[in-house]
């Protein structure tokens, strides 16, 4: 079971579509497809809400579109959760929380080089979900260890479901909140986060990795035991390449980098074309090659994707769909150029 590189394409799951079939069509247009998350279709499709299913203490208000936490409710419900601890179905995503996931599981995707799933990671979930005092639950010492195990179980159940339709399935742990731990104002520092993330990934089955669009301390992520790292190099490429020694070690052990190179927000997208993006990406590879990283390894252990998800474009899904098409065109051009290597 290996995550493919060779400049194949995938994308992050959050999409602006309200039409389930069209969103799935574009997800399937990637070499490595995934099941889309569609918060504009339903609040259940919000990535934090999907991760919260069956989490004790959660207060979900569908009308107000809010997700909160109650410690009193947590204490009341934790026993029920522990009673289901050995029930995989309890930790899976139900049809209520994803209109697409179960449809994806019914597809014949055995001919794809791989498929992918995703779940919100514990650090981001812990920062985003707050209790009755508006305190993020990541600061609750009685909740945080449980949260790490709970999210690991959810990821493992989904991964094993996906492997039934393609043995090369793998998972993104979506962690947009990771960049905040390096702020002195976060109250949860990188030392605590490293311990928690190492414990978390010790519970998560392989293949697994992290996706985020922000700009954290890349050493922190590259030194975790990951099989894949997906990031926005359109925005953060120069900052990322400054960590060449850690990138080299990451690639040398066989891990994959997903280069998010095609912007999805309308202002940036309209300024770019395939030629410019090719030059931009190859410039990052040139920079890393000049610092001792094998260029062939960068290509063989690389995939391509859009730079970010985007829910706020005034044209809804149109620019995002164009960006997906550009990712595939860019991949095709580069694979032809580097055919000798691949």
Which residue is associated with the tokens 């005092």?
133
pLDDT tens-digit map of 49-74: 999 999 999 999 999 999 999 999 99
327 assigned to some structural domain? yes
Picking from 205, 211, 95, the residue whose alpha carbon sits closest to that of residue 160 is 205
209 assigned to some structural domain? yes
256 assigned to some structural domain? yes
- Whether the per-residue pLDDT at 28 is higher than 70: the answer is yes
pLDDT tens-digit map of 118-160: 999 999 999 999 998 999 999 999 999 999 999 999 999 999 9
Do the Cβ atoms of 104 and 118 come closer than 8 Å? no
300 assigned to some structural domain? yes
Rounded CA-CA distance 117/139 in Å is 28
7 assigned to some structural domain? no
Rounded CA-CA distance 78/63 in Å is 26
Copy the structure tokens of residue 14.
Answer: 């959050």
Picking from 76, 166, 150, the residue whose alpha carbon sits closest to that of residue 116 is 166
- Domain of residue 154: give its range: 20-337
122 DSSP 8-state letter: H
Alpha helices for 68-121 (secondary structure H): 71-83, 88-91, 101-105
Copy the structure tokens of residue 135.
Answer: 């305190």
10 assigned to some structural domain? no
In three-state secondary structure terms, 337 is helix
Sequential DSSP letters for 186-241: SSS-HHHHHHHHHHHHHHSPSSEEEE-SS---HHHHHTS--SEEEEEHHHHHHHHH
**Count: domains in the chain:** 1
pLDDT of res. 184: 60
pLDDT tens-digit map of 67-96: 999 999 999 999 999 999 999 999 999 999
pLDDT tens-digit map of 179-213: 888 766 667 888 888 999 999 999 999 999 999 99
pLDDT confidence bin for 5, thresholds 50/70/90: very high
Rounded CA-CA distance 10/229 in Å is 12
- Whether the per-residue pLDDT at 1 is higher than 70: the answer is no
278 assigned to some structural domain? yes
99 assigned to some structural domain? yes
pLDDT averaged over every residue in the chain: 95
Picking from 229, 139, 134, 145, the residue whose alpha carbon sits closest to that of residue 180 is 139
pLDDT of res. 43: 97
Whichever domain contains 141, its CATH number is: 3.20.20
pLDDT of res. 185: 62
pLDDT tens-digit map of 297-339: 999 999 999 999 999 999 999 999 999 999 999 999 999 999 9
pLDDT of res. 233: 98
Phi, psi for residue 168 in degrees, rounded to 5? -95, 25
118 DSSP 8-state letter: E
């Amino acid at each position: 079971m290996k995550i493919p590189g060779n400049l194949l394409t995938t994308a992050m799951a959050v999409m602006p579509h309200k039409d389930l079939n069209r969103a799935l069509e574009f997800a399937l247009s990637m070499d490595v497809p995934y099941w889309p998350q569609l918060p504009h279709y339903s609040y259940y499709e919000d990535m934090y809400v999907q991760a919260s299913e069956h989490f004790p203490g959660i207060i979900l208000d569908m009308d107000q579109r809010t997700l909160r936490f109650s410690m009193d409710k947590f204490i009341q419900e934790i026993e029920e959760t522990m009673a289901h601890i050995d029930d995989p179905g309890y930790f899976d995503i139900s049809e209520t929380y994803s209109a697409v996931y179960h449809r994806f599981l019914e597809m014949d995707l055995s001919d794809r080089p791989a498929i992918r799933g995703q779940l919100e990671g514990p650090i981001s979930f812990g920062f985003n979900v707050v209790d009755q005092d508006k305190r993020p639950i990541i600061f609750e010492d009685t909740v945080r260890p449980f949260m790490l195990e709970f999210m690991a179980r959810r990821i493992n159940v989904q991964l094993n479901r996906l492997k039934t339709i393609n043995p090369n399935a793998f998972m993104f742990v979506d962690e947009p909140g990771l960049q905040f731990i390096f702020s002195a104002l976060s109250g949860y520092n990188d030392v605590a986060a490293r311990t928690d993330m190492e414990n978390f990934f010790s519970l998560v089955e392989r293949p697994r990795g992290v996706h985020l669009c922000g700009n954290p301390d890349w050493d922190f992520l590259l030194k975790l035991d990951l099989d894949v790292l997906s990031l926005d190099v359109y925005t953060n490429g120069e900052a990322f390449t400054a960590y060449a020694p850690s990138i080299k070690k990451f690639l040398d052990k066989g891990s994959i980098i997903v280069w998010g190179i095609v912007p999805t927000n309308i202002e940036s997208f309209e300024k770019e074309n395939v030629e410019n993006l090719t030059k931009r990406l190859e410039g990052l590879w040139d920079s890393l090659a000049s610092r001792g990283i094998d260029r062939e390894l960068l290509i063989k252990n690389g995939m391509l994707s859009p730079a970010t998800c985007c829910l706020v474009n005034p044209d809804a899904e149109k620019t995002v769909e164009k960006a997906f098409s550009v990712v595939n065109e860019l991949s095709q051009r580069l694979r032809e150029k580097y055919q000798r290597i691949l």
